[in-house]
Structure 1
Amino acid sequence: MVLVLKNDQMENLLPMSEEIDAIEQAFRELGQGKAMNAPRAWLRTPWKEEGGQHYFNNIMGLVPGVKSMALRIDSSFSKEVQVAGVTLFLLF
Structure 2
Amino acid sequence: MKAEVDFYDSELFGNDAGEDEDPEVLDSYFINKVEFNKFLSEKVGLCVARAKKGMGKSALLNRMAYSLSKHDSNIIIKVTGNDLLGLGDFQG
Give the TM-score normalised by structure 2: 0.23
Which has the higher relative contact order, 1 or 2, with Cα contacts under 8 A spaced 6 or more apart? Answer: 2
Q: Counting strand residues as a fraction of each chain, which structure ranks higher?
A: 1
